[in-house]
Amino acid sequence: MDIILWIVAGSLLPWFPFSWIFNRLLVSAPGAWARALAVIVLPQLGLLLLLKSGAWYVLGQEMPIALRALALFTAILYAYRAAGTRDVQIWARFMATSGLSLTWLLVGLLPQHWDMQLFVLAWSIPAALMLIWAGVLTKQTGASYLGLSGGFARVLPRLSVLISLTALAATATPIFPNFFALLQAMESLPIIWMPLLLLVLLLWGWTVGRLLQDLLFGIYHGEAVHDLSVAGTWLGGLTLGVFALVGIFWGGIWIIN
Amino acid sequence: MGDLAIVIPFLPILSAAVIFIFMHSARKAAARISVIITLLTFILALIELTSYALGGFSRVEIIGTLWGSVWLDPLTLIMWSFVCGISLLVHMYSVRYMVEEANYTRFFALLDLMTATILFMVSAADLITLLVAWFLVGVVLYFLLGHDTNRPAAGRYAFWTQITYRAGDVPLWLAAFVLIRSYHSISLPVIFSRLQMYPHLDAFWGLSIPELVGFLLAFAAFARSAQFLLHGWLPYTMDGPTPVSALMHAGIVNAGGFLFNRFFPVFEHASIVLHFVFIVGLITAVVGSAMMLIQNDVKRSLGYSTMGQMGFMVMECGVGAFALAVFHLIAHGFFKASLFLGAGNIIGEAREHDGVPPDSVYTSIVERRPAKPSRLPWLAAAALTIIVPVVVLSVSHLFVSSRLLHEQGVIILLFFGWVTGAQALFATHKMTHTNPWRLMGGILGSFVLVVIGYTLISHYFGHFLYPHGEGYQLYSAASINSVYFDVLVIILALLFVGAWALTFFADSSGWWDRADQGRWRGVYLALYALLSRELYVNDLYARMTQVLLSGARRLNVLLRWC
């Protein structure tokens, strides 16, 4: 029973090697919107499974070091792998996996369910938005790969802005909520373990830099494309704005926990 | 005045928000609003500084409930005025300079955002605000440096800056959490007062908490202030727009010096860190200045000059002269901003008027052409070169405060002042002039004025910044065993005096040319090649990146991209 619980939870709220199943599930979802929905719903289901079964507290007491090592290894592995891709959709999946795996650092802590759900959402929402933008990019250019044409800042300025901001939101940039979620994860660790989590932060900085370099800079060589509509841009911008505002108000709540 | 102070860092945010949301295509109006609000911010910052100087007191103003606060102490108020002043210059310059560029309005909004972020960074009274602002400076700078998206080089060098800054964020995060865990607060004033009560808490590897935190803060400062091995990005920031280069080299790169000053109570109990900081600063100053000398590109040369200056600034912190480092960063900020903003005109002038008139300083120093024989006698010149700076520097410091001459840090800085002053006089001696005594007299007069002015200003500035004698505690923390110190100073002084006397003699008699006969040419060329490749530091990083990326791709293929 325990083993099945571990596998199911690890596939929904990813840790390696079951993070592979999580990514497979996202890839198999039909279309960008379904992927976006999946990246929000699946981790919540995994979290609920852990909380309702009571495993959340038991695991935290029985194997805190193993869980900590597992979570950090998954986060580092997927952050590193994200640097090796130039596809927005794959990048979004890897970053989501890297961020969501940090939830396992908090196993056994924080009695309020809603706080944990917010922590997971902090990583899911930017990933979901990124998967939607990857879908839009695929629709406009035929693929979400940035390595061939590049220089989208001039031909798809609105979409480029949204992708850039979402990428920053996905990599724990202040004042988005996952910056504060990362502070919360830091707070849960003994000092000696903190450098590993900071390695994740460094790798995220590297991956987001590479993504933006591929996305924004250079001369566009592809066919003529249509940018995102003004309404779509406002909607995307508004979502990110609200996300950032939540960050400001929610941020720092770990200080009083 | 408290409410007024809180408004200051929010004003540029307001300007950025208005431009981003409402003024996308109103180019002139956006620039005007941006300049006016920056001017207003500058005036308010000056008012705050003046009211403090006329009898104000340090205080903390809370903005948020859990985090978010500004510390209105002398350091904040000085930095606010300095940052706003530089920002105003850059704004005014950009109005016409950037007018033909695409995304003109976005540029001004980003400038405003950068100004606000720096204002929050220098005034943060809690660790969370500091982390947020410190982190955001790197992000906003990335977009400012990469303003011209048509140029892949702009993106590449913006990325170099961003990743180096991120590397500097990591130790700051760790330092913040070590402080939070050890002193159970995020408030800087609270942490510092508890640190004074319990300065010797043990951390790891035989280090106390202040020593561990000091090392981490030093690494964070090194990344921001382009210290050796973390310097590769700085000369390449020239690929961004000129106003951004000016803002970068005049303001943002000084963050290291600010960080040392903000956390000065930590360094009072971390002597070993200060010694380490001194060595890193010294290496950076030497390497930066050496690289500056071999550049044939004006802006790249200015970039390496900044690296050398930052090395010197960090070195000042390493000897305990924290207030002097702040004075240095302000002075350097203004002169470097003017050099950057004027560089374009110089380049344009040189392109238009090809015939550069012969310049005696250039021909004698850079081209090393043999000078005409109208010089002082070598013994007189050597005596003036060696003795005059010692007398001027010592007397000026003695006049300000005799206690200063007992501090090792001051002696080291005097030593550097002496070497620099003597070198300037030596260069003057090599110049051709019809009346060499008059030339030397003019240079000596200027030297005396500069030294006295600098000594007086830096002394009173130091007293303003650290009114309770903290400066002497920092000098004391940076000191080493007095016997070792005296022996070191004497050996170095003898080495320098001997080298100068020999140089004067060899230069005057032509002895070196006869003895050398081109045998050192190979060594010079090898050294030049090494410096022109920037000591292969960037090549090493590029190779490391390639290896890491190749590994990531192989892993992705192995795991089928899932």
**Considering only CB atoms, which chain B residues are within 8 Å of A210?**
159
How many Å apart are CA B176 and CA B192, to the nearest integer? 12
B467 CB contacts (<8 Å, ≥6 apart)? B74
Please check whether residue B379 touches A, CB under 8 A: no
The pLDDT assigned to A110 comes to 63
Structure tokens of B553? 């791709």
How far is A56 from chain B, CA to nearest CA, in Å?
A: 25
CA atoms of B368 and B380, how far apart (whole Å): 22
From residue B66, how far is each of A78, A118, A250, B58, B172 by CA, in Å? 32, 18, 10, 21, 20
Tell me the shortest Cα–Cα distance from A51 to chain B, in angstroms: 27
Q: In the predicted model, what is the mean pLDDT of chain B?
A: 87
Contacts with B66 from chain A: Cβ below 8 Å: 251-253, 255-256
Q: Which two tokens stand for residue B557?
A: 């293929």
B136–A173: do the CB atoms touch at under 8 Å? yes
- Interface touch B155/A213, C-beta < 8 Å: yes
Q: Is the dihedral of CA A13, A15, A17, A22 positive or negative?
A: positive
Q: Do B146 and A217 touch (CB under 8 A)?
A: yes
Q: What is the pLDDT of residues A243-254, one digit of tens each?
A: 999 888 877 676
Residue A239 tokens, joined: 């979502």
Banded model confidence at residue A234, pLDDT cuts 50, 70, 90: very high
Average pLDDT over residues B520-543: 89
Give the Å distances, CA to CA, from B249 to A38, B87, B333, B478: 46, 12, 7, 28
DSSP A226: P
Residues of A in contact with B107 (CB under 8 A): none
Instruction: Please identify which residue in the block is written with the tokens 């809603």.
Output: A114
Please tell me whether the interface predicted TM-score (ipTM) of this complex is above 0.90: yes
Is B552 in contact with A218 (Cβ distance < 8 A)? no
Q: Which is higher by pLDDT, A65 or B92?
A: B92
Residues in chain B closer than 8 A to A179 (CB atoms) = 132, 135
Give pLDDT, residue B373: 46
Question: Cβ contacts (< 8 Å) between A252 and chain B: which residues?
Answer: 64, 66-67, 128
**Position B491: which residue type?**
I
B266-325, pLDDT tens digit by residue?
999 999 999 999 999 999 999 999 999 888 888 888 899 999 999 999 999 999 999 989
Residue B371 has pLDDT above 70, yes or no: no
B489 contact A CB<8A: no
Q: What is the pLDDT of residues B17-41, one digit of tens each?
A: 999 999 988 999 999 999 999 999 9
Nearest to A216 among B155, B162, B559 (CB): B155
Give the three-class secondary structure for B59: strand
Chain A contacts of B551, Cβ < 8 Å? 80, 84
Report pLDDT digits (tens) over B218-267. Answer: 999 999 999 999 999 998 888 888 899 889 888 899 999 999 999 999 99
Chain A interface includes B543 (CB < 8 A)? no
pLDDT for residue B87 is more than 90:
yes
Judged by a CB distance cut-off of 8 A, whether residue B541 touches chain A is no
Cα(B4)–Cα(B50) distance, rounded to whole angstroms?
Answer: 13
DSSP conformation class of A104 = G
CB-closest option in A90, A192, A205 to B163: A205
Cβ contact, residue pair B166, A213, below 8 Å: no
Indicate the pLDDT class of residue B429, thresholds 50, 70 and 90.
Answer: low
The whole-number average pLDDT for the span B348-358 is: 67
Residue among B64, B136, B552 minimizing CB distance to A84: B552
Share of chain B above pLDDT 90, in %: 53
* Model confidence band, residue B522 (pLDDT cutoffs 50, 70, 90): confident
Give tens-digit pLDDT for B322-343. Answer: 998 998 899 898 888 888 888 8
- Asked whether residue A79 carries a pLDDT value surpassing 70, the answer given is yes
3-class DSSP state of B266: helix
Task: Say if the Cβ atoms of B135 and A174 lie within 8 Å.
Answer: yes
Cα separation, A11 vs A20, whole angstroms? 8
B131 contacts chain A (CB < 8 A): yes
Task: Name the more confident of A84 and B462.
Answer: A84
Q: How far is A202 from chain B (nearest CA, A)?
A: 6
Residues of B in contact with A233 (CB under 8 A): none
